[in-house]
Amino acid sequence: MNRRERARHAIEARVYQDAIGAPPPSKWRCIIPLFTEHGYASRVLRKRLGLPTPLNTEDRRVLEQTIFPCYGVNPSFKNVLFVGCNTYTSDYQRLYFADHNFWTIEPNADLTQFGARQHVVAPLEEMGRHFAENFFDLIICNGVFGWGLDREEQCNAAFEQCHTCLREGGHLIFGWDDVPRRTPIEVAQIGSLARYGRFNFPPLGTWRYLTDTPYRHTFDFYQK
């Protein structure tokens, strides 16, 4: 295993601790990787400076190297909404959707700096107030369910409005962590998702793809 792979496992282990709600690590546990882990010090510095800080994990690799490129080159997907943003997503417009009508939506106003040029400060369940019916070709809601989008009625409202704002045939990519702490309700219990068809995403050969990560990050592909 090379240095980069070792670093990936270490990052995934930290994401897992966060995903299961483990207490934050001690100061020492944060300091040691500064000297031992490939890329850690530069990531800490970039984060501090508010610079784009890519996350070296397997689920990001699938999202950024398999999913985004496939949609990025398809001319049927021009109007794109990305839900929830942070330092590790702030370069997504520039790197993957530069020629698109790319929007972000995020309820936390402090994170606006990581949003796209076209950004809305609102929760997803209020997107209908900001966007017209049938407007988007693609909505990417990754890592939001269980990380703030938690209650059944909230989830139902959110995916109902995504459905309204997607054009006929438009896609919803729903990324979630299949661990108890981040599945506050069963995904199967979110009634509004039943309004969509399941889409078999050709590069992964399935509509539901479980990544090889300790936090069981899963991508579901839906079509209106």
Interacting residues toward ligand SAM by CB under 6 A? 83-86, 89, 105-108, 111, 123-125, 142-144, 147-149
CB of 45 to ligand SAM, least distance (A): 20
Q: Which is nearer to ligand SAM, 3 or 181 (CB)?
A: 181
Which residues lie closer than 8 Å to 122 by C-beta, 6 or more apart? 105, 107, 129, 130
Q: Closest approach of Cβ 148 to ligand SAM, in Å?
A: 2
- C-alpha 2/C-alpha 16 separation (Å) is 21
Q: At 138, phi and psi to the nearest 5?
A: -150, 130
CB of 108 to ligand SAM, least distance (A): 4
Could you tell me which of 100, 152, 104, 146 has the C-alpha nearest to residue 124?
A: 104
Cβ neighbour number for residue 180 with a 10 Å cutoff: 11
* Tokens describing residue 80: 């794109």
Nearer to ligand SAM, 17 or 86 (CB): 86
Q: Nearest approach, Cβ of 28 to ligand SAM (angstroms)?
A: 26
In angstroms, give the least distance from the CB of 125 to ligand SAM.
Answer: 6
Q: How far is CA 134 from CA 36, 156, 163, 190, in A?
A: 50, 18, 8, 21
29: helix, strand or coil:
helix
Closest CB 126 distance from ligand SAM, rounded Å: 8
In the bound state with ligand SAM, the residue whose beta carbon lies nearer, of 168 and 191, is 191
Cβ-proximal residue to ligand SAM, closest one: 148
Scanning the chain, the segments in alpha helix (DSSP H) are 3-19, 27-36, 40-48, 58-61, 68-72, 92-96, 152-165
- Helices 40-48 and 27-36 pack at an angle, to 10 degrees, of 120
Q: What residues does 103 pair with on adjacent strands?
A: 81, 118
Residue 180 or 197 having the CB closest to ligand SAM: 180
Nearer CB in complex with ligand SAM: 106/137: 106
| Secondary structure, 3-state, 94-124 | HHHCCCCEEEEECCCHHHHHHCCCEEECCCH
Nearer to ligand SAM, 108 or 118 (CB): 108
Of 7 and 173, which has the nearer Cβ to ligand SAM? 173
Q: How far is the CB of 93 from ligand SAM (least distance, A)?
A: 13
